[in-house]
Structure 1
């Protein structure tokens, strides 16, 4: 991982509470599809953050263990019956063959796949599944496409848009895994202008901006959203990249 990526990936702890409050969960149909080929119900949420994906996994009946490297993010993950562990994709604190699926919500692109791939394969049971999930904005909708332009790539990047997420994630195939399958599932999040701005403020590219640039970016987004009604639904899809252990 480059120094820039390391700085970006380690930035979330500084906004952990806002991340927990304002980031969306994941479409349940997407989670079910990701898990469909798995040989059992034992699931590792890898790079679990504040538990956005963990919560959905628990709701669909998975037996979840959550692993996250950032202590501030992990401190926000409080789910009864869910085991939480400090660790990373490159160093997973679980025994060999102990899970049937590994899912990663908005985190797989941060993994050093040359190292993480064999480690993920190690903890997977035979026939196990690896899946990355991303909530992507549906930029077929005019105002969403305009929001992406106004916010710029630090706030709304290629992995965040329906038009570009597939091309941006299809190459995320670690050694020892099959070619990936991709699918999208309808999702949405009820927002106000301020809560959407607050969510965009937790994007890594925005978090690491100099303060003056960050304030200007968020002010520009806030001005654009001022024409929106008090509450509105942000149209999204949950995109899934699903791979199987070779």
Structure 2
């Protein structure tokens, strides 16, 4: 919640802000925005994900579309937020299109969740959970670059935690693309390696534990 509130801090909240959840997926961020009392529109290109979002958040206006072609009129949104997806966009086209639908003074904000690798056991898990086909983390340094249609570029990081077990954490990582596309024998070996590591650590060997995480937020204001 703190990360979302900071992301939307420049928005005038005297009314009910109109917020676009762009690349909304199945609606995880949509639910947070609704809980904050915003008037939410969700846009997502994948039909299956959009259907799941509608099932979970039936009162939300949900539309098929992309960051480069947003199915909304000019200047109708107070804010556009993007969870875990901005790095997939064509940056120049997306920022221009987002500026089109934002009101002057509106905010575009991108959020990413990542494990807190400053914690020693979390960093170790990150190493053992990599496969030859890719790592679990990605670099967002150059995502959402400076753009002439925006000002006040800022970013902030917010610590939080998720309650996990060794089995639930491994199950989640097993849904990541670098694991799903691995050959069966390689995937089986990777899953076994992750579980063995967690069972070997006193912080995670038995029962539930907190997985330390960080949310990085980048925001800019429409001129």
**TM above 0.5, one fold?**
yes
| Aligned pairs for 1:78-89 within 5 A | 78-89=56-67
Flag the structure with higher helix content: 1
Q: Which consecutive residues of structure 2, in runs of 5 or more, have no partner in the other structure? A: none
Work out which of the residue numbers 149, 158, 182 in structure 1 matches 2:127: 149
| Aligned pairs for 1:172-183 within 5 A | 172-173=144-145, 175=147, 176-178=149-151, 180-183=153-156
Q: Partner residue of 2:169?
A: 196
Partners of 1:92 and 1:138 lie apart in 2 by 33
| Aligned pairs for 1:56-75 within 5 A | 56-75=32-51
Q: Which consecutive residues of structure 1, in runs of 5 or more, have no partner in the other structure? A: 1-27, 160-167
2:91·2:143 contact (CA, 8 Å) conserved in 1? no
1:155·1:200 contact (CA, 8 Å) conserved in 2? no
Partners of 1:221 and 1:155 lie apart in 2 by 14
CA deviation after TM superposition for structure 1 residue 225, in Å? 1.6
Work out which of the residue numbers 90, 99, 117 in structure 1 matches 2:77: 99
CA deviation after TM superposition for structure 1 residue 84, in Å? 1.1
Q: Name the Cα RMSD after superposition.
A: 1.8
- TM-score when normalising by structure 2: 0.87
- TM-score when normalising by structure 1: 0.80
| SS at 1:206 equivalent | helix
| SS at 2:93 equivalent | helix
| Largest Rg, 1 or 2 | 2
**What per-residue deviation string (whole Å, max 9, x for no partner) do you get for residues 90-136 of structure 1?**
11111111111100000001011121111111110111111110112
Q: Which moved more, 1:117-126 or 1:33-42?
A: 33-42
CA deviation after TM superposition for structure 1 residue 191, in Å? 0.9
Q: Which moved more, 1:96-105 or 1:214-223?
A: 214-223
CA deviation after TM superposition for structure 1 residue 219, in Å? 2.2
1:117·1:174 contact (CA, 8 Å) conserved in 2? no
Partners of 1:125 and 1:76 lie apart in 2 by 29
Partners of 1:130 and 1:79 lie apart in 2 by 22
Work out which of the residue numbers 169, 184, 188 in structure 1 matches 2:157: 184
Counting matched residue pairs gives 211
